[in-house]
Structure 1
Amino acid sequence: MRGKYVNQTTQAQSFGKDPTTVRDTSHYKEEYVKSFVEKWDELIDWDRRWQSEGEFFIEQLRSYGVERVLDVACGTGFHSVRLLSAGFDVVSADGAPEMLARAFQNARDRGYILRTVQADWRWLNRTVHEQFDAVICLGNSFTHLFKEHDRRKSLAEYYATLNHDGILMLDQRNYDAILDEGFSTKHQYYYCGEDVIAEPEHVDEGLARFRYTFPDKSSYHLNMYPLRKKYTRRLMHEVGFQHIETYGDFQETFKANDPDFLVHVAEKSYQEEDEES
């Protein structure tokens, strides 16, 4: 995403005197500093996450006949590599150059060559000039957007890059549970590194500031917007996605505040209103 130039070789994050006032979409570039990105795979633990997810995303994509996938928040490449290994045609995008560099290296270490592009979601189609069967935005990445018009614009860009019967898969933390009941986590699906602690340092209706503490006692922070489930689904509908299924920790049926993470699967295919009734 666009923003002021950041020296990506820096090892320290910068949030100013009062970190809880940093609620800017473009600030994430200053959060994903090189030293944090180098530890990201330790937080995820690829092998454990692969096991915890099972075939959920692969089965969903195959059920819709998907062949070409745009991973708009590829991070260090986990899902891009996962889908490549399953036979999908994947283009990997991210706004953070350090993430893209690590993703490319991770893929190469596993015998794959990623097609990568640095792209701002709000102007995605300026950079990506192809159509896809699916767009995936995973890893709680959508919560880096702090302004509603940024969220609407990004969703519209995803919609535009999809084929007429394409799907969007977007996930998020279950912020309803965090806001309404406080934070708890089974720590078994997304952030699977056993020795890494990921927990909120500050939460209000406009900010979820998470701290990530590693075994070497180093710690990093991410400032994110706490999306509520109904709000996210409403934005998707208003952009044009007619049918949306939401899964909790990869399950179709769940109690509202039980899951750690939610996955929304939104269909672009258009039906006239009289055909729905």
Structure 2
Amino acid sequence: MTSTQTSPSSRGGDQQRFGESPESVRETDHYQQEYIEDFADRWDRLIDWEARERAEGDFFIRILKDYGAHSVLDVATGTGFHSVRLLKEGFDVVSADGSPNMLARAFRNARHRDQLLRTAQADWRFLNRDIHGTFDAVICLGNSFTHLFKERDRRKALAEYYAVLKHNGVLILDHRNYDRLLEGGSAVSGAKGTVYCGEDVQVGPEHVDEGLARFRYAFGDGSTYHLNMFPLRYGYVRRLMSEVGFQKIASYGDYQRDFEDPDFYVHVAEKEYRFDGDATML
């Protein structure tokens, strides 16, 4: 990978330590090197908090309230968008992330909006080592689950989410429509995404195969960064959730129950044990 810019911020790939063969970087632990401080500082320009709030409406708030959730563990806090929204709605939130740069940005964003985050740096594979207590809900949003490259890591993370939930808790997890990408389609079906709503950044895949989706993030100031992610298929994620022990799974596309070829999927998985034929997959 090369860059035509000369400023330090434009050499994101160098700082992100992808090396001479970036498409060969397929390790879960590399994500911390990808979310360098410069990239974290620009992340909110990718999201655009106001536009994203309009796009998703009260979707997550409504689901959490429907399940009677009060305590929420946000395991992929990022720069704090959902943690702050939930705090404003009266939820009791603990905000975790594996990236210290993202957590620092999230804490500052919350203070700017008169909210105080309770933050914890945590590896999902060892979540219960770093996070104490149980929660009504766990949310893993922003396409974050795709940072896990090995199936054993994905199973371990889901098992950790399951363990930290109360007996009737719920997990909400999202990811891109990688099925479409793997079949030759575009990253975004419409003119603008429903999750990444910023106007000052161009996002697109540079490489996609069954084991890697490498995305390029080019900002208006000339800076360019990349993320290497595992392309999760829709049916595969649902199967893993079921095999880990979640009893009932409802899936949405772009925040709609009825969907066709959405940009993002959201899975809502219930932990509550259901006897015999009650554990129906929706």
What is the TM-score with the length of structure 1 in the denominator?
A: 0.94
Look up the match of 1:118: 121
How far residue 276 of structure 1 moved from its aligned partner, in angstroms, is: 5.3
- Matched residues in 1 for 2:279 and 2:102: separation? 42
- Matched residues in 2 for 1:183 and 1:116: separation? 35
1:65-76 to structure 2, matched below 5 A, reads 65-76=68-79
Alignment deviations for residues 135-165 of structure 1 (CA, whole Å, 9 cap, x no partner): 0000000000000000000000000000000
How far residue 23 of structure 1 moved from its aligned partner, in angstroms, is: 0.1
Residue type of the partner of 1:50? E
1:119-268 to structure 2, matched below 5 A, reads 119-185=122-188, 186=190, 187-255=192-260, 258-268=261-271
Segments of structure 1 that go 5 or more residues without pairing to the other structure are: 1-9
- Matched residues in 2 for 1:67 and 1:276: separation? 24
Find the residue that maps to 2:18 and give its secondary structure: coil
1:205–1:115 Cα change, 3 Å: same
Deviates more, 1:182-191 or 1:132-141: 182-191
Match of 1:40 among 30, 40, 43: 43
Find the residue that maps to 1:164 and give its secondary structure: strand
- Matched residues in 2 for 1:138 and 1:232: separation? 14
- Measured on the aligned residues, the alpha-carbon RMSD in Å equals 1.3
- Matched residues in 1 for 2:233 and 2:16: separation? 27
Residue type of the partner of 1:243? K
- Matched residues in 2 for 1:274 and 1:71: separation? 31
- Matched residues in 2 for 1:275 and 1:52: separation? 34
Residue type of the partner of 2:239? R
Find the residue that maps to 1:87 and give its secondary structure: coil
Residue type of the partner of 1:217? G
Residue type of the partner of 1:143? T
1:106 corresponds to 2:97:
no
Alignment deviations for residues 103-127 of structure 1 (CA, whole Å, 9 cap, x no partner): 0010000001000000000000001
Aligned residues: percent identity?
A: 64
Look up the match of 1:7: none
1:86 corresponds to 2:101:
no
Alignment deviations for residues 193-216 of structure 1 (CA, whole Å, 9 cap, x no partner): 012111000000000000000001
> Which aligned segments of 4 or more residues in structure 1 are displaced greater than 4 angstroms?
274-277
1:129–1:184 Cα change, 3 Å: closer
1:184–1:96 Cα change, 3 Å: closer
1:272 corresponds to 2:270:
no
Segments of structure 2 that go 5 or more residues without pairing to the other structure are: 1-10
What is the TM-score with the length of structure 2 in the denominator?
A: 0.92
